[in-house]
Structure 1
């Protein structure tokens, strides 16, 4: 194993917001049975022919609608991008999903299908952050890629209210946030700031913890420099995500990877989001996240790919019963893509347990006597 890879192992880079593995030559083949947070969670293996992903699929296989939400304000103009499957009942909650850094709303594609299978009445809104599918312009017409955590959380809430207006809802339904990695930091900040008031039932955070994320950020640029900058085809990009074990579910890779890329004039495919250019915001995203997570109003769920991701503050909070914890040792960083069925089961159970409208109460004694 190279010295660089050993350094990454010590800093537990699998806890970084976007899990982006090193090239195959940087690793020796390791036993994949170890903890998901170890170096082997990003070790490269070549899939068999039956595992190789088929061509990409369309968003409509997973969501009912795709739309753009436009906002005009004193700061400029925004065009937000989102996917949605409306609720079948005005009393059912709306799950609002926020992706991680460098990812897209389609990282929740398979998860959304599973949620609807388990909870057919639930509404689902999967949003995309600015510089990740949504675009915000300043008053001078320049693109505004301010990715500060307070800006991103306000964008999230604005998208919810814009969806309400687009759908013609008289009032917002009960909301449950689900955020992966950076998205976990965004939904936690929005919850802590009380931006939805009593409409927020709770929030689920997927595989991000302040302590380990902050420790790993110092090596992030070196880590990003190791991944391919271009792919000859979309299929090649899908295949790379599987071979590198960035994603462990070929079906999810087919759904989400094409949305991460754009075609260059030369015909090759490049990343839509330049993660290296976001460095100025990395500490801002995660600093103070554990405290916000524990003290914000609403039910709390934390899903991790390894127990060693818990920092001291969260370990104490978990022992005090302040939040629900669930661990998926077999998953990589993208829990909702690697194990969409199991992730959906835990989230739906969390939603139903905290949404009183789904409770079926026994009849009152007086009613029985009548």
Structure 2
């Protein structure tokens, strides 16, 4: 670990302590996990396609907890109807508090939903309790995911997902006129969608200040797609309880390591009731579009949005491709790697939401108003084109 990386982790710890958040352990052994963790499949779970756990009361308690937390974290829940595609997008919004507080726009990955960001949204509001600014958070369920209502035979190509994203963001900005700075945060496929949005430049806002990709590297993602058919075939067709599905993600597949987050994100992935819960999103239907998802992602990430700051956050030391290596050397984006904790996986925003929140808020402070950051955080006043004030 470089001295710079150690200094950055120390800064995160200091901000966590000031916020009353849990600290990030530096004593754990490095844990590197692949995009879809297919190597972690438990052989016993492969033979049992139905999890027989829990009862109706337990299921009800989990759903009631999700509904309560959802309403607290996202007081504004609207539907944006796209007449062209006949899709009703479910959106979730926690308005910013304080003058010029930023807004984070969040996009989940394939097979997930907006509820994957519940704990991150909660942590974002707690990173600086002494401040009079509380960031806003906006998320939406992509077509065929979560509570967005779509027709059958869904097109999951990157171009269409990008068009959906542009529609939702433009609808949101029209409905919520604000001077707040916008920071796009996309997990996995969501990062590719946001990057493509900036490439096409069809979002009606000049306030986009930053783009953050969570745990997605083009070459690694493309290789991981080769194991996706095996992952999908091994996935249980349905579960007899919500807790059974939560346990499958945590104990069998090691996809998640934070049960508090899983109790909010996993129930939103399922339909059904009582003893038969099945997936809302059929990942097999997305397979014809996989080849379009990550093509030229690294090149586009480096070049898109000339006035947009960028950050790549990884759960482990991925092998960066040439574009990312050159881009980092040229200072085109910030790279943050959480590789010192074996309980941080692909869904790192669920596993360590407080640490990701601190990282995001530090990114905002440095890029929303660089002059204020240098004055207040670094202790000097920049004189562009001249000497620096002592």
Q: Identify the range of structure 1 (91-100 vs 350-359) with the bigger mean alpha-carbon deviation.
A: 350-359
Are 2:198 and 1:188 aligned? no
Residues in 1 aligned to 2:110 and 2:270: alpha-carbon distance in whole angstroms: 14
Cα 1:76–1:227, aligned 2, differ >3 Å: closer, same or farther?
A: closer
Cα 1:25–1:19, aligned 2, differ >3 Å: closer, same or farther?
A: closer
Q: Displacement, 1:175?
A: 1.1
TM-score (norm 2): 0.75
Cα 1:300–1:210, aligned 2, differ >3 Å: closer, same or farther?
A: same
Q: Identify the range of structure 1 (215-224 vs 18-27) with the bigger mean alpha-carbon deviation.
A: 18-27
What SS is found at the alignment partner of 1:83?
strand
Query: Number of aligned pairs?
Result: 318
Question: Per-residue CA shift, 1:31-76, capped at 9, x if unaligned?
Answer: xxxxxxxxxxxxxxxxxxxxxx994532542513252323344x24
| Structure 1 residue runs without a partner (length 5+) | 1-12, 28-52, 365-370
Q: Identify the range of structure 1 (121-130 vs 309-318) with the bigger mean alpha-carbon deviation.
A: 309-318
Q: Displacement, 1:308?
A: 2.5
Aligned residue in 2 for 1:203: 211
After TM superposition, list the pairs within 5 Å mapping 1:40-119 onto structure 2: 55=62, 57-61=65-69, 63-73=73-83, 75-119=84-128
| Structure 2 residue runs without a partner (length 5+) | 1-31, 46-58, 382-390
1:261 aligned to 255, 267, 270, which one?
A: 270
Q: Identify the range of structure 1 (177-186 vs 77-86) with the bigger mean alpha-carbon deviation.
A: 77-86
Aligned residue in 2 for 1:319: 329
Are 2:357 and 1:350 aligned? no
Residues in 1 aligned to 2:33 and 2:125: alpha-carbon distance in whole angstroms: 29
What SS is found at the alignment partner of 1:221?
helix
What SS is found at the alignment partner of 1:162?
helix
Query: 4+ runs of 1 displaced by more than 6 Å?
Result: none
Aligned residue in 2 for 1:42: none
**Contact kept? 2:217, 2:318, Cα under 8 Å:** no
Are 2:161 and 1:148 aligned? no
**Contact kept? 2:312, 2:334, Cα under 8 Å:** yes
Q: Displacement, 1:222?
A: 1.3
**Contact kept? 1:175, 1:200, Cα under 8 Å:** yes
What SS is found at the alignment partner of 1:195?
coil
Question: Per-residue CA shift, 1:2-55, capped at 9, x if unaligned?
Answer: xxxxxxxxxxx9443x5566532279xxxxxxxxxxxxxxxxxxxxxxxxx994
Cα 1:254–1:134, aligned 2, differ >3 Å: closer, same or farther?
A: closer
After TM superposition, list the pairs within 5 Å mapping 1:15-54 onto structure 2: 15-16=34-35, 19=37, 22-25=40-43
Q: Displacement, 1:144?
A: 5.8
Aligned residue in 2 for 1:332: 345
Aligned residue in 2 for 1:304: 314
Aligned residue in 2 for 1:132: 145
